[in-house]
Amino acid sequence: TRAHVEAVAGARALNAYVLETPDQALAMAGASDERLAKGEGGPLEGLPLGIKDLFCTKDVRTTACSGILNDFTPAYESTVTTQLWRDGAVMLGKLNNDEFAMGSSNETSSFGPVVSPWRRDGSNAGADIEGTHLVPGGSSGGSAAAVAARLCLGATATDTGGSIRQPAAFTGTVGIKPTYGRCSRWGIVAFASSLDQAGPIARTVQDCAILLRSMAGHDPKDTTSADLAVPDYEAALGRGVKGLTIGIPKEYRIEGMPPEIGALWDQGRAWLEAAGAKVVEVSLPHTKYALPAYYIVAPAEASSNLARYDGVRYGLRVPGRDIAEMYENTRAEGFGREVKRRIMIGTYVLSAGYYDAYYVRAQRIRTLIKRDFEECYAAGVDAILTPATPSGAFGIGEKGSADPVEMYLNDVFTVTVNMAGLPGIAVPAGFDAQGLPLGLQLIGRPFDEETLFAAARVIE
């Protein structure tokens, strides 16, 4: 823990941590040592972790990297982090993310962008950021950068449309978004409640398996959390893929996809076949509607969730002549541009007169997307292999400033999984033409994270 605390303090230029908690880390590590000395250790005893700033941590500032929560200190601890501390993990601090988890590059954070430790020449610079200017992906950019730069052993993250898998792919780390309902959302700042899920980002598939087991589980405080036993994911790692059927969805071969992404996909297929899997082509015909439908459903839910930031209950308050003006001033000053854009889109698609044309239609598409996957699994497919992202990491400031849709296109391979509530894992599988990491994605049956871990282990 001490070595990690020092590494974190020595790597501030990456901007991965928005709050360091060294005293707490050392105290937790001390308590962990005492438990171990008594032979009482839990499964994560003494492991130093970073926590995405979307997870509420008791008495430790939690901002969701938004100006509107700049001085919010929760009086409660999220269920996921409570379970990690129960099992002996140690908190190094809070990690940067896109504001309210809205973004794909970690550039919308009120604390500024995170710098990926990867350089354009394909080397990992660690804490020495000379020559680095790539994004780590988002919204869990701080989590991915901290893991890639060795500033923690693993990190918590959240994924509403790809925010665990895309930054993992950009930084050569592993990230899993479990099935919707696998982890409790209690105490996690809400973005789009029907899509949000917590999960780990770590260096290896095994580390993710160990962390997810602690993070997952039924929680009576979240009515959408599933009342199912959590399997021993680590025990599933050695299962291999012999006898499994892996689907390759033809709709994911999108126009304009760089050749190295196609080559990576073929390589992944070859590895799985060599390990004994049967690989078949499958069709998920509604894939092309997933991205536009996501960008209706997610902002709609966000606009409703963000209504609570009114200058009264949490964080920032900017006074006005009356209460209406106070609301206006607080929200005008507290929210960033991307968040305001989502609130406007969300409010529009939910308004009377447009609700049927947009929101209801997007929900119908969501059902069709879910059905595509169900049919595929009913036909005997055990998991689906796709690229995790349509490209490798890009430069800070390079994408999305003139046209937000350019940024949204990053999510083309990941949002379908959230829309269908399925588990998805991103695993490093190769490099782009510049030597930057690329990831493959495996999508599983509901609550079958075990098959994903076993198959990802074959690819890693």
Residue positions annotated with a catalytic role: 52, 139, 163
| Least distance to ligand GLN, CB of residue 271, Å | 27
Residue (241 or 306) nearer to ligand GLN, CB: 306
Measure the CA–CA gap between 338 and 107, rounded to whole angstroms. 10
Q: Which of residues 361-390 bind ligand GLN (CB under 6 A)?
A: none
Region binding ligand GLN by CB under 6 A among candidate stretches 110-118, 154-162, 261-269, 372-380: 154-162
Q: Which of 111, 170, 191, 394 binds ligand GLN (CB under 6 A)?
A: 191
| Least distance to ligand GLN, CB of residue 360, Å | 21
Region binding ligand GLN by CB under 6 A among candidate stretches 69-77, 161-169, 310-318, 383-391: 161-169
Kindly state whether residue 439 participates in binding ligand GLN, applying the rule CB under 6 A: no
Token pair 């997933």 in the structure block, residue: 290
Q: Which of 162, 178, 199, 437 binds ligand GLN (CB under 6 A)?
A: 162
| Least distance to ligand GLN, CB of residue 174, Å | 17
Kindly state whether residue 161 participates in binding ligand GLN, applying the rule CB under 6 A: yes
Contact 404, 145 (CB under 8 A): no
Q: Which of 160, 179, 386, 416 binds ligand GLN (CB under 6 A)?
A: 160
Residue (132 or 139) nearer to ligand GLN, CB: 139
Q: Which of 18, 152, 284, 298 binds ligand GLN (CB under 6 A)?
A: 298
Residue (162 or 446) nearer to ligand GLN, CB: 162
| Least distance to ligand GLN, CB of residue 346, Å | 11
| Least distance to ligand GLN, CB of residue 411, Å | 5
Kindly state whether residue 167 participates in binding ligand GLN, applying the rule CB under 6 A: no
Kindly state whether residue 101 participates in binding ligand GLN, applying the rule CB under 6 A: yes
| Least distance to ligand GLN, CB of residue 342, Å | 8
- Strand 437-444 to 424-431 pairing: antiparallel
| Least distance to ligand GLN, CB of residue 245, Å | 28
Q: Which of residues 115-144 bind ligand GLN (CB under 6 A)?
A: 139
Kindly state whether residue 107 participates in binding ligand GLN, applying the rule CB under 6 A: no
Per-residue binder mask for ligand GLN (CB under 6 A), 212-251, x = binder: ----------------------------------------
Region binding ligand GLN by CB under 6 A among candidate stretches 101-109, 238-246, 425-433, 442-450: 101-109
| Least distance to ligand GLN, CB of residue 441, Å | 14
Measure the CA–CA gap between 60 and 322, rounded to whole angstroms. 32
Per-residue binder mask for ligand GLN (CB under 6 A), 37-66, x = binder: ------------------------------
Kindly state whether residue 159 participates in binding ligand GLN, applying the rule CB under 6 A: yes
Which residues are CB-contacts of 103 (< 8 A; sequence separation ≥ 6)? 109, 138, 139, 338, 407
Q: Which of 104, 109, 179, 287 binds ligand GLN (CB under 6 A)?
A: 104
Q: Which of residues 407-426 bind ligand GLN (CB under 6 A)?
A: 411
Kindly state whether residue 103 participates in binding ligand GLN, applying the rule CB under 6 A: yes
Full 3-state SS string of the chain: CHHHHHHHHCCHHHCCEEEECHHHHHHHHHHHHHHHHCCCCCCCCCCEEEEECCECECCECCCCCCHHHCCCCCCCCCHHHHHHHHCCCEEEEEECCCHHHCCCCCCCCCCCCCCCCECCCCCECCCCCCCCCECCCCCCHHHHHHHHCCCCCEEEEEECCCCCHHHHHHHCCEEEECCCCCECCCCECCCCCCCCEEEEEECCHHHHHHHHHHHECCCCCCCCCCCCCCCCHHHHHHHCCCCCEEEEEHHHCCCCCCHHHHHHHHHHHHHHHHCCCEEEEECCCCHHHHHHHHHHHHHHHHHHHHHHCCCCCCCCCCCCCCHHHHHHHHHHHHCCHHHHHHHHHHHHHHCCCCCHHHHHHHHHHHHHHHHHHHHHHHCCCCEEEEECCCCCCCECCCCCCCCHHHHHHHHCCCHHHHHHCCCEEEEEEEECCCCCEEEEEEEECCCCHHHHHHHHHHHC
Q: Which of 102, 244, 291, 339 binds ligand GLN (CB under 6 A)?
A: 102
Contact positions vs ligand GLN (CB under 6 A): 101-104, 139, 159-163, 191, 298, 411
